[in-house]
Amino acid sequence: MTFIRKMLGLVLLVSSLTFMSNVALADLPDFTQLVEKNAPAVVNISTTQKVEQRRGGDFNGIPDDLLRRFFGDDFPVPRSDARPEGKGKSDNTKKEMQSLGTGFIISNDGYIVTNHHVIADADEITVRFSDRKELSAKVIGSDERTDVALLKVEAKGLPTVTLGQTSKLKVGEWVLAIGSPFGFEATVTQGIVSAKDRTLPDDTYVPFIQTDVAINPGNSGGPLFNLTGEVVGINSQIYSRSGGFMGLSFSIPIEVAMNTVEQIKRNGRVVRGYLGVNVQEVTSELSESFGMTKPTGALVADVFPDTPAAKAGIKAGDIILSVNGHEIQKSGNLPPVIGMTPVGQPVDIKLLRQGKLQSMSVVVEALPEDKKVAAGSGKRAAKEATVGKMVLGASLVPLEEPAKQKLGIDFGLRVVRVDDGALAQAGVRDGDILLEINYARLNTVADVQSLISKLPQGQKIPMRVVRGNRALFLPLVIE
């Protein structure tokens, strides 16, 4: 009887585990139909670039052919324009450098979207379709800032993808990529959305989608699908210390990409909206100094002369909270919103100024191509002046006239040396220029000394400084 009970218990345990396993499998998404439907619209892109390669001669007495025998034909033999006579011959040859990437078809008459960096500097572009057919492609236009390129092949009746909306994408949602990593065509990888609106260095105008989808070299330019089979992004970058996938992949939102595509089709180039401000993140310490209940918005650190922001009356110290109803939760949200705004169109900006909510209309202008958004020399010697007055633990001197002219201002104090004190605790460094404390301009060291007696003690107050070529705010506490 005991044996029967044990066997019955074992059977029930196995049945329970099997049931739980089936339930778990039932909760996982099935990507098979999505792949079958969309894979034909994903293409492999190969490019060829012809570069000059110097052959022949020798290097430090070692013949070039011997070096390449051991290290291969691509061994980078340094050029020498002064080879001794009789030490070998040299000639210039053309070598074809190939790269691989991915793209996807957005119209049945042959328009294909991929990354700018996939086709940059290419002399020839070949598109290979799922049926192994190959066609030459021409570049309709390309934009480096968003890393989006539009290609065209001469064909009709091509399969196409369906475009979705990144705005409806949620963190934790399943996504799938189809691409050609390392040249392996039609490779499918899956994962989830790890984060949205990621700002990466030197990519101000793209609020990236972060995923843990396996992306490797060759996936660039390929589509990122949601579970309904819609393209929500273009796989563009990875974060890696090894050169391979490490769980951090970044995709361009499809709305940003298609805005670029439509402008390329219409104008042959991309024109972005421009406000004319430098912004910084609102930290918890800064939010306290501005009297806010929580850190949010984009803090205006500087407003450039004769720009839309300056004309509308936006000031340094303003905190932009929304643009046309689009909430600005962090500083990185602002450039993409303004950049995608049509030039000449007014936008409604809500901001916080010295604790009071304000609303103003700003007419967006075109981003200057080579606009230097920061003034100044870029190299400010911290010890141009060796004698200064010690205030708040730092040696201060009035700003020199040449520096004022470069900055386009007529006030400010240079920090000669920072010792222990309130300024050091706020994060002030040698060479910084103090512009304002609690919105009051600083012309002389006496201005700082006078302010100290009037400011509340033990509370964070905003202090505006210039460091390098940028203005920024720091939280100052007067003990």
pLDDT of the chain, 479 residues: tens digit per residue: 565 666 666 656 555 555 555 544 557 899 999 999 999 999 999 998 876 655 555 544 445 544 444 445 554 545 444 444 444 444 555 557 677 899 999 999 999 999 999 999 899 999 999 999 999 999 999 999 999 999 999 999 999 999 999 989 999 999 999 999 988 999 999 999 999 999 887 777 899 999 999 999 999 999 999 999 999 999 999 988 777 788 899 999 999 999 999 999 988 889 999 999 999 999 999 999 999 999 999 999 999 999 999 999 999 999 999 999 999 999 989 999 999 999 999 999 999 999 999 999 999 999 886 443 333 333 333 333 345 788 898 999 998 888 888 888 889 999 998 888 899 999 999 999 999 999 999 989 998 988 888 888 888 999 999 998 789 999 999 87
- Looking at 213, 238, 261, the residue that finishes a domain is 261
Q: pTM of this prediction?
A: 0.74
Q: Which two tokens stand for residue 451?
A: 């302010």
CA-CA-CA-CA dihedral for 243, 136, 141, 99, to nearest 10: 10
Q: Do 244 and 291 belong together in one domain?
A: no
Q: Positive or negative, the Cα torsion across 96, 100, 101, 103?
A: positive
378 assigned to some structural domain: no
Closest CA to 458 of 419, 422, 429, 420: 422
6 assigned to some structural domain: no
Q: Do 255 and 306 belong together in one domain?
A: no
Residues designated catalytic:
117, 147, 220
Q: 10 Å Cβ neighbour count for 455?
A: 14
Cα 127 to Cα 134, 141, 212, 320: the distances in Å are 6, 16, 27, 45
pLDDT of residue 6: 61
Q: Do 250 and 290 belong together in one domain?
A: no
**Would you say 145 and 270 are in contact if contact means Cβ atoms under 8 Å apart?**
yes
372 assigned to some structural domain: no
Please give the tally of structural domains in the chain.
4
Q: Do 350 and 434 belong together in one domain?
A: no
Task: Count helices and strands (H / E) in the chain.
Answer: 11, 31
Which CATH number goes with the domain that contains 71?
2.40.10.10
56 assigned to some structural domain: yes
- Looking at 226, 261, 296, the residue that finishes a domain is 261
Closest CA to 422 of 398, 443, 444, 451: 451
Distance of alpha carbon 377 from alpha carbon 400, whole angstroms: 13
Domain span at residue 224? 164-261
pLDDT of residue 52: 65
Q: Which two tokens stand for residue 201?
A: 């260095």
Q: Do 291 and 251 belong together in one domain?
A: no
Q: Which two tokens stand for residue 258?
A: 């298609």
Cα first-last separation, the chain = 82
Which CATH number goes with the domain that contains 446?
2.30.42.10
344 assigned to some structural domain: yes
Q: Bridge partners of 250? A: 210, 237
Q: Do 75 and 126 belong together in one domain?
A: yes
How many Å separate Cα 157 from the centre of its chain? 36
Distance of alpha carbon 192 from alpha carbon 176, whole angstroms: 8
Q: Do 204 and 146 belong together in one domain?
A: no
14 assigned to some structural domain: no
> Which residues have CB under 8 Å from 56's CB, separation 6+?
64, 88, 89, 90, 91
**Would you say 130 and 116 are in contact if contact means Cβ atoms under 8 Å apart?**
no
Distance of alpha carbon 355 from alpha carbon 436, whole angstroms: 17
Q: What is the 3-state secondary structure (H, E, C) of 28-49?
A: CCCCHHHHHHHHHHEEEEEEEE
Q: Do 334 and 411 belong together in one domain?
A: no
Q: Do 316 and 403 belong together in one domain?
A: no
